[in-house]
Amino acid sequence: MNRTRIITAAALTLVAAGWGGLLFAGPINPPAGPVASTYKTLTEAEPRTAINLTTTPGDADSLFKITQRGSYYLTGNITGVAGRHGIEIVASGVTLDLMGFDLSGIPGMGAFDGVSATVNSLTDITIRNGSVRNWGDEGVDLGSNFADNSAVIDVRASGNIGNGITISTGCTITGCTAFGNIGNGISTSNGCTITGCAAPFNSGMGISIGGGCTITGCSAYLNNGSGISTGSGCTITGCSAYSNFGDGISANSTTTISNCTARINTLDGIRVFSDCLILANMCSANGNGGDGAGIHATGSDNRIEGNNCTDNDRGIDVDVAGNFIIKNTCSGNTINWTIAANNVVGPILDRTAPASAAISGNSAPDSTGSTHPNANFSY
């Protein structure tokens, strides 16, 4: 009988310990259904691959190297070493979350990048959320080896010897800032989208894009080159180019530039080659410390419409024949209109002395001096 009681007590103790384990570990009542694990492993809690010497060892020219597709993240800052990239990517289908950490190069390290795609023609690479500065070449380089269909998001790039951020074809750059880079702030290839970025104080251009790109809501300030420079077939909307030492906005051909502001740039406010639409922009005080027009077309087949150009060396400057210039206004330029022969130009009316009476009411006679729907005005 005692033996029975002891064994029973032991069994009961075991049962109680089991229940106690359940109390420490979770609900007492097991979930319905077959017995299964109720917890996540740490890998399930953070399934991405941490960048470290075990998972992503570097090689002769990199501190860390990603060789397999997947999702990766930093677990700390990276300090550059001479002769090595910070993180080298050699696989497609990689997302690298910098987790807000700082990748910082060192002086004299050689032409190596903070983050670099080094194999030709990779695709689908995303770099996000961190700071890359003072590298011997680019901060983020997804362009030199044509990593197409990639993205750079929320990255601060500064003080790099090359460009701050370089991307290839069909990529997006969103919410990035590029400051004080020796190359361009942001540099893209063809077919890219750049949104909500700021590019100040770069030794090259602020934002340099290839053909067929879209730039919206960006600022380019005090760059040694042009503020924004594009290839052909681009759309530039709602951007500011202020106090750059080149042009404010410079476009090649077949580009739409609308609702932008270009002010106090050393050369032209907006400069285009051919086949562009320049619509509803404000260009003032360009040629500052240099020589420049508010809008300058160097080629033909441009449509220049509805712009206001004030206080430049020249208001609207068209070098060759074959352009269409309507509904613009110029004021206060050293020369308001400089237009080569054989362009199509709405009448240019000199309204610099309109002699209009003051108005306080509901009606007044015209003082534009023209009913022509396409008239340009000096005022």
Task: Give, as ranges, the residues between 228 and 247 that touch another protein (CB under 8 A).
Answer: 237-243
Compute CA distances 44 → 26, 34, 40, 53, 212, whole Å: 19, 21, 6, 21, 41
| Binder of another protein out of 329, 337, 343, 345 (CB under 8 A) | 329
User: What tokens does 354 get?
Assistant: 């309109």
Within residues 297-316, the interface with another protein by CB under 8 A covers 306-308, 310-311
- Report in angstroms how near the CB of residue 104 gets to another protein at its nearest: 6
| Binder of another protein out of 136, 143, 183, 200 (CB under 8 A) | 200
| Binder of another protein out of 2, 108, 341, 362 (CB under 8 A) | 362
Compute CA distances 183 → 53, 70, 158, 234, 366, whole Å: 31, 30, 10, 22, 51
The DSSP call for residue 248 is: S
- Report in angstroms how near the CB of residue 121 gets to another protein at its nearest: 31
Dist CA 221 CA 339 (whole Å): 29
Within residues 331-350, the interface with another protein by CB under 8 A covers 331-332
Asked if residues 203 and 224 have their Cβ atoms less than 8 Å apart, the reply is yes
Asked if residues 374 and 344 have their Cβ atoms less than 8 Å apart, the reply is no
- Report in angstroms how near the CB of residue 187 gets to another protein at its nearest: 17
Within residues 130-159, the interface with another protein by CB under 8 A covers 130-131, 133, 154, 156-159
User: What tokens does 58 get?
Assistant: 């570097």
Query: Binders of another protein: how many residues, by CB under 8 A?
Result: 117
Phi and psi angles of residue 330, each rounded to the nearest 5 degrees, phi first: -135, 140
Q: Does residue 91 interact with another protein by CB under 8 A?
A: no
Rank residues 60 and 107 by Cβ distance to another protein and give the closer one. 107
Within residues 16-75, the interface with another protein by CB under 8 A covers 17-18, 21-22, 25, 30, 35, 37-39, 41-43, 45-46, 50, 52, 73-75
User: What tokens does 130 get?
Assistant: 């961190």
Rank residues 32 and 371 by Cβ distance to another protein and give the closer one. 371
Rank residues 273 and 337 by Cβ distance to another protein and give the closer one. 337
Asked if residues 204 and 182 have their Cβ atoms less than 8 Å apart, the reply is yes
Asked if residues 268 and 292 have their Cβ atoms less than 8 Å apart, the reply is yes
| Binder of another protein out of 64, 72, 179, 273 (CB under 8 A) | 179
